[in-house]
């Protein structure tokens, strides 16, 4: 587990309870404290502790987490009065859920703007383990306009993925149907599923992996991950769909480019985002093998 936050107790804090230190001195919300307590990730002098334990001078209070440390300031790629576009790191959900009610990107943005009444609405979500560009609307009206643009394919996204093996055809269009089968995690290709159209283009290929560019014409859950696995090219790091965990520990998928016409200003918006470090390292190794072959 990684250290999320750590604090050494001052003499003026001697005798306070752990929960007071977490809330007042370390800035954790009640929900965050509760979640950390339930998961057993609060430590006093490297020993798991109760919230009601007293702390003393020079004690060390530590909160550990298996999640990536959340940046206090999101990486904003574009912003105006109606829209904010961010680079979402892998490991952070795009939106809140029962399991992630305040550590998702929407909540990070809310804290960044310091406005409890402010609510951003995600337009086209990325899976928790996927990195890259996510578009958020700042108003209900803009959310509806951008959602309509998505349905009409006026919001164009491109992904970069590292997948297993080589392709016989260096570019192509994959058409298949995805559905949910009972007893099987994730999505599967089924006769009565939702239609998926996935376009790919090989950028670089080695003996074992290929870097491809992907554009989807339909936005289905796990469309790229499940579809590539079905056609024999699972994303590396994608445990759910049989991808090798040797080179990466999360799906090697990154939304690197988004283009759309601004619903209000009618201007063309084009945003790009470079590969994250973990994927770039794999690509570098891939290129090294090509050079030395």
Average pLDDT of the chain is 87
Say whether both 57 and 188 belong to one domain: no
Q: What is the pLDDT of residue 21?
A: 93
Q: Are residues 110 and 226 in the same domain?
A: yes
Where residue 69 falls among pLDDT bands split at 50, 70, 90?
very low
For residue 125, tell me if it sits in a domain. Answer: yes
Among 21, 46, 65, the domain boundary falls at 65
Residues 51 and 149 in one domain: no
pLDDT at 100 over 60: no
Asked if residue 245 and residue 116 are part of one domain, the reply reads yes
68: pLDDT strictly greater than 90: no
Catalytic residues: 127
Number of domains in the chain: 2
Last residue of a domain, one of 65, 88, 108: 65
Give yes or no: residues 83 and 162 share one domain: yes
Answer whether residue 71 is part of any domain.
no
pLDDT at 260: 94
Query: Is a pLDDT exceeding 60 seen at residue 292?
Result: no
Q: Which of 38, 65, 92 is the last residue of a domain?
A: 65
Confidence of residue 208 (pLDDT cuts 50, 70, 90): confident
d(CA 83, CA 81): 6
18 with 80, same domain?
A: no
Residue 216 lies in domain: 76-292
**What is the b/e burial string over 253-265, where b = at least 16 CB atoms within 10 angstroms of the residue's CB?**
bbbbbbebebbee
In a domain, 70, yes or no: no
pLDDT score of 265 more than 80: yes
> Does residue 118 belong to any structural domain of this protein?
yes
d(CA 189, CA 170): 23
For the entire predicted model, the pTM comes to 0.74
CATH number at residue 153: 3.30.2350.10
What whole-number distance in Å separates Cα of residue 175 and Cα of residue 275? 27
Residues 128 and 54 in one domain: no
What is the C-alpha to C-alpha distance for residues 144 and 151, in angstroms, rounded to an integer?
A: 11
Question: Are 96 and 10 members of one domain?
Answer: no
Q: What is the pLDDT of residues 150-207, one digit of tens each?
A: 877 788 999 999 999 999 999 999 999 999 877 778 899 998 899 999 999 999 998 8
122 and 10 fall within a common domain? no
Residues 187 and 282 in one domain: yes
129 contacts 90 by C-beta, under 8 angstroms: yes
Of 177 and 4, which is predicted with more confidence?
177
Give the pLDDT confidence of 227-260 residue by residue, as tens digits.
Answer: 999 999 999 999 999 988 888 999 999 999 999 9
* Co-location of 52 and 139 in the same domain: no
In a domain, 273, yes or no: yes
Question: Based on the domain organization, do 278 and 200 belong to the same domain?
Answer: yes
Return the CATH number at 34.
3.10.290.10
């Amino acid at each position: 587990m990684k250290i999320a936050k750590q604090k050494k107790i001052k003499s003026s804090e001697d005798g306070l309870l752990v929960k007071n230190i977490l809330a007042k001195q370390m800035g954790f919300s009640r929900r965050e404290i509760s979640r950390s307590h339930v998961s057993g990730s609060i430590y006093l002098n490297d020993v798991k502790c109760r919230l009601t334990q007293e702390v003393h001078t020079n004690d060390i209070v530590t909160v550990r987490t298996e999640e990536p440390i959340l940046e206090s300031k999101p990486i904003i790629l574009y912003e105006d009065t109606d829209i904010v576009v961010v680079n979402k790191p892998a490991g952070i959900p795009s939106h809140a859920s029962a399991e992630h009610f305040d550590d998702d990107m929407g909540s990070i943005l809310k804290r960044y703007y310091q406005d409890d009444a402010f609510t951003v609405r995600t337009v086209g979500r990325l899976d928790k383990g996927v990195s890259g560009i996510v578009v958020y609307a700042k108003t209900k009206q803009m959310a509806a306009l951008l959602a309509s643009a998505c349905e009409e394919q006026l919001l164009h996204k491109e992904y970069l993925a590292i997948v297993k093996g080589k392709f016989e055809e260096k570019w192509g269009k994959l058409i298949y149907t995805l559905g949910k089968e009972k007893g099987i995690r994730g999505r599967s290709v089924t006769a009565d599923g939702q239609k998926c159209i996935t376009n790919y283009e090989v950028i670089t290929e080695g003996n074992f992996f290929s870097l491809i560019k992907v554009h989807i014409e339909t936005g289905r859950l796990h469309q790229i991950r499940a579809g590539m696995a079905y056609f024999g090219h699972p994303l590396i790091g994608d445990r759910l769909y049989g991808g090798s965990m040797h080179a990466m520990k999360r799906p090697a998928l990154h939304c690197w480019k988004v283009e759309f016409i601004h619903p209000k200003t009618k201007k063309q918006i084009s945003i790009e985002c470079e590969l994250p470090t973990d994927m770039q390292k794999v690509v570098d190794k891939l290129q090294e093998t090509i050079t030395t072959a």
